[in-house]
């Protein structure tokens, strides 16, 4: 009995890895959200502890990169925010490309509802923020409440387990990915410094080289990494924020791979007359062979996701979520910047998403996911109000270090906490309990 169970279980793991990549992605994002929450709490406690000076010393610890006579010295926080986060944006770009070409955003019929919801969820929060800051220098931070943190949102959604239908999970993912695309465009267009046309041209040429390499079927990670470093440097020197290089590079990675059919069949090695044991072994082997034959885009996405979720984003949270409430500007934390960011995320996101979704349905542009009530979309709208990573990132670009950035951080963190609790409560009431596992 036990031997039979071990036989049937053997191929299950590789087969599940092959057939359910979205489930694996959701699991990585959910656990990554827990790690992010933990790291953010550590940062807040550390920044307000007797060891706060050590926290600032870590953020400002100088790190130098030298190439011959060229030396670039920047604080640790800068390298995390500008270099490591470029890898995060590279992963975001891979996710966007996959969803646009073969995923939930492939074709207007599938993309209409999340696109409408995402647009509403970006415009309304920005409008609320500007209502509080219009005409002041702080209005430059209008992009702060526009963003959604996928890891946090999916992590909170995972707490509801089997109550959540797959259609709602996919809607949230598609919405968040479009939201990320919008945030990237906002960074590139509105949070870019003075442009250096020479370096911008070199960046464009480097991108064309990457595009040509991918277009002719190139898929070696080392080659893309080398091109990516050159592209990052030229983008950095051009005045465009360097993390945009990550998204640009991602769009050159091939999503298809030409595999010789005869070679693939030989590697699979399935023999119809081999009996049950032979077929069983062949299924497990087939999963491994087919996994190895995946496109470069899928391979890179699969390989990078754990490092981004469990190393890069927690490092970013540790170095950016620490707000010293007793420091400079601490007495004026409840400013128009804080209120605009807070209300933009907490109210603007759900109102914009729900309103745009209802309008898209009422005009016949899109239909709600099957089995998902409108109240569930309101709950998802609140989860989208968890801004965190992208919001803090845009805040740092808009305000730089200082008390205004701390005010924006406070609004983002408070809104994210309350949005998570509100979304969880609404979805718990809106979605009936369902049997059969974790959905």
Please give the pLDDT value at position 116.
93
**β-bridge partners, 75:** 62
Q: Which residue has the higher pLDDT, 306 or 34?
A: 306
Q: Which residue has the higher pLDDT, 205 or 176?
A: 205
Report the C-alpha gap between 278 and 264 in whole angstroms: 18
Q: Is the pLDDT of residue 72 over 80?
A: no
Please give the pLDDT value at position 20.
46
Report the C-alpha gap between 390 and 392 in whole angstroms: 6
Q: Which residue has the higher pLDDT, 219 or 438?
A: 219
pLDDT band of 285, cuts 50, 70, 90? very low
Please give the pLDDT value at position 288.
47
Among 123-127, 212-216, 297-301, 370-374, whose mean pLDDT is lowest?
A: 370-374
Q: Which residue has the higher pLDDT, 13 or 366?
A: 366
- Digit-coded pLDDT (tens) for 73-105: 888 988 888 888 889 889 888 888 887 787 767
pLDDT band of 286, cuts 50, 70, 90? very low
pLDDT band of 6, cuts 50, 70, 90? very low
Decide yes or no: CATH 1.10.150.530 for domain 21-192+241-257+294-430.
no
184-193, 223-232, 239-248 — which one is most confidently predicted on average? 223-232
Question: Mean of the per-residue pLDDT values for the chain?
Answer: 80
Please give the pLDDT value at position 290.
45
Please give the pLDDT value at position 434.
62
Among 47-61, 233-247, 262-276, 286-300, whose mean pLDDT is lowest?
A: 262-276
- Digit-coded pLDDT (tens) for 309-359: 888 988 988 988 888 776 554 445 678 999 999 999 999 999 999 999 999
Please give the pLDDT value at position 243.
80
What are the CA-CA distances from residue 109 to residues 116, 333, 369, 437 (Å)?
12, 45, 12, 30
What residue spans define the domains of the chain? 21-192+241-257+294-430
Q: Is the pLDDT of residue 63 over 70?
A: yes
Backbone angles phi, psi at 405, to 5 degrees: -65, -40
Please give the pLDDT value at position 15.
43
15-18-21 Cα angle (round to 5): 130
Q: Enter the pTM of the model.
A: 0.74
Q: Is the pLDDT of residue 146 over 80?
A: yes
Residue 242 burial (C-beta neighbours within 10 Å; 0-12, 13-18, 19+): buried
Q: Which residue has the higher pLDDT, 287 or 64?
A: 64
- Digit-coded pLDDT (tens) for 150-198: 777 877 887 887 788 878 888 888 888 888 888 888 888 888 777 888 9
Please give the pLDDT value at position 403.
87
Q: Is the pLDDT of residue 19 over 80?
A: no
Q: Stretch 108-118: mean pLDDT, rounded?
A: 86
Q: Which residue has the higher pLDDT, 277 or 118?
A: 118
18-310-437 Cα angle (round to 5): 50
- The answer to whether the beta carbons of residues 183 and 146 sit under 8 Å apart is yes
DSSP H helical segments within 258-368, as ranges? 261-268, 275-292, 296-307, 313-320, 336-343, 349-362
Three-state DSSP at 106 gives coil
| Nearest one of 310, 413, 421, 417 to 47, comparing CA atoms | 413
């Amino acid at each position: 009995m036990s031997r039979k169970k071990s036989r049937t279980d053997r191929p299950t793991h590789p087969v599940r890895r092959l057939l359910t990549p979205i489930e694996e992605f959701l699991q990585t994002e959910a656990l990554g959200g827990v790690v992010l929450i933990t790291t953010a709490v550590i940062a807040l406690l550390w920044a307000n502890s007797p060891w706060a000076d050590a926290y600032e010393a870590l953020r400002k610890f100088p790190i130098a990169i030298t190439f011959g006579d060229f030396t670039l010295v920047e604080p640790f926080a800068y390298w995390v925010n500008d270099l490591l986060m470029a890898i995060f944006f590279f992963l975001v770009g891979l996710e966007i490309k996959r969803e646009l070409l073969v995923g939930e955003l492939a074709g207007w019929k599938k993309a209409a509802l999340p696109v409408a919801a995402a647009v509403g969820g970006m415009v309304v929060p920005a409008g609320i923020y500007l209502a509080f800051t219009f005409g002041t220098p702080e209005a430059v931070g209008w992009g702060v409440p526009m963003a959604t943190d996928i890891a946090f949102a999916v992590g909170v959604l995972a707490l509801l387990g089997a109550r959540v239908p797959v259609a709602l999970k996919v809607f949230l993912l598609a919405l968040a990915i479009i939201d990320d695309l919008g945030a990237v465009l906002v960074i590139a267009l509105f949070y870019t410094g003075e442009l250096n046309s020479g370096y911008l041209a070199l960046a464009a040429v480097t991108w064309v080289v990457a595009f040509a390499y991918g277009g002719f079927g190139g898929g070696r990670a080392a080659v893309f990494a080398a091109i990516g470093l050159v592209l990052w440097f030229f983008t950095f020197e051009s005045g465009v924020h360097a993390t945009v290089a990550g998204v640009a590079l991602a769009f050159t990675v091939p999503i298809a791979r030409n595999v010789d059919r005869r070679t693939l069949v030989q590697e699979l090695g399935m023999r119809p007359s081999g009996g049950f044991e032979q077929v069983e072994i062949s299924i497990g082997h087939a999963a491994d062979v087919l996994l190895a034959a995946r496109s470069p885009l899928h391979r890179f996405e699969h390989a990078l996701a754990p490092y981004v979720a469990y190393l890069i984003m927690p490092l970013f949270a540790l170095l950016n979520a620490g707000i010293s409430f007793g420091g400079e500007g601490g007495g004026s934390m409840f400013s128009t910047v804080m209120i605009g960011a807070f209300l933009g995320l907490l109210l603007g996101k759900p109102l914009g998403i729900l309103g745009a979704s209802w309008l898209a349905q009422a005009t016949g542009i899109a239909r709600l996911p099957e089995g998902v009530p409108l109240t569930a979309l309101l709950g998802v709208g609140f989860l989208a109000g968890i801004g965190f990573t992208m919001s803090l990132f845009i805040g740092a670009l808009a305000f730089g270090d200082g008390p205004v950035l701390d005010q924006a951080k406070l609004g983002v963190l408070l809104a994210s906490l309350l949005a998570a609790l509100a979304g969880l409560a609404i979805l718990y009431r809106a979605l009936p309990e369902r049997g059969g596992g974790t959905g």
